[in-house]
Structure 1
């Protein structure tokens, strides 16, 4: 191996959870990856250690100026026993795009993927194999230098933790109800909408609470300038199937460049379908519904893969999509992507990587 990491095994391994009762992101494996960055020295001392608390000074920059980033991907175990990652190189690329925006030092992308592989290998017996489960991988970087001042930190921690997870939505592929947010905004041009940082999600909590209070599971964000163009659905990218055209918001700096989003687009194009990355107004979405042209709406993301939308609420208007049932296309995309991820289907795109 080009990269070797010191490994310290835990002396108190945890009991493995029941795969039938797994939730999302509440349990963590026995080990974690840690690597330091020091100005003048670069990234150094990559190591795998027992999972546990991290000690930081109260003045650590991450607490005061939110200089941090995170990623998310999954590991799966095939029926043949192979451990598979799904496009981890894309997570590495996106990490560095976020790092550049957040003034965090770039990290060697090959090292990044090898660190993920090494940790997943150490805790491979934590990968659940029940249908709909997986091992969620959370790489993240935080500014750790203790100082009070608005500048980039000179010290960082790169860490990776693992969590065996059940389905992101407890209802599985059951369609979700989405509330269209036209008061608060998630991102604006020139901001950090394309970066995977905690601040984007923290700023959305108010809208999420408002949606939940109204009986909706997620928020559909509109653009920050005019509040009329559809952008993202909560933690996922949004797709609208209108008159046999699949439409998703373009990558113009205000939405996350989802890896599942890119996979969906490539998959649809390989099937000969018309896919458009273009702006579309929420008014046009509702007009398409009234004209009988809106056949499906779905979201894509690492956590849920594909999440069909059964209802949209905008102002005082509500529409029910595809009789509140999962659409044929949404089901086909989910079955194909999950089949590739689990090694059940042929991978013509070279997306899966063995650990």
Structure 2
């Protein structure tokens, strides 16, 4: 039995669909009435008899590690689409099983293992053209405190070495984007594991309304900032379809020769991409591919197996090409 908390939400509904596609089950799905994260007794009843309990509910500041603790009390494994703070509470747990964190840490590892003997540096871009749900907006704003703007990796964390770019054009990204440099803990784990001399990570923001909203959120209260992002994303998506683009350009050596490769992963939206990795993390736990303890998805899931399974689910298929993408932009 696999229990999915928050199964009726944007991420949860995709997680349930992909678990069914994978043939994983039976499933116990819970919305706010039968798996209220604020009710410990209700959560315990929901988790009872489950082999794995999955959390797709949010925002993170509300849920915290409540679902993880219910899973531990039930003797079940735990998978969380988000990255709640807190110590390991027992058993096998995979957190950060989403688009970011999650796939943003897996794709660089996949490219490094596939193409290189050693990696020297990378530049990564993440663009999400999708509606902000209230939960997603709250989690995005809360996540701003878990990293540093304008920072990059230079054989270690370095502050203020990058600049924000505006009116940039990139292959695979629709229209002009603003590039916001940001270094978070997942990025630093990737840099350390790959032995990078340098690493630059950018959020590629498209849509004039979302770009304007990002510039205003720091001056707004939490509720107003969440509402502003939700309204802006709705306006920017009018007449269009949700999309996600993750692009990683990497340089290093293979067989003693210098090499540059670029990998691109494209999907149909944040909810589907996050739900897919959450479901694949559940599969890995069930197959005992994850050792006991609390792990970040990008650190513990096998990159080759995970990307292959993502392709097999029909969610996304990576493209790999020679060289680095060209970038044209202004700067702020």
Whether TM-score is above 0.5 comes out as no
Give the greater-gyration-radius structure (CA).
1
Relative contact order, higher structure (CA 8 A, sep 6+) = 2
Higher helix share: 2
Q: TM-score w.r.t. structure 2 length?
A: 0.25
Q: TM-score w.r.t. structure 1 length?
A: 0.24
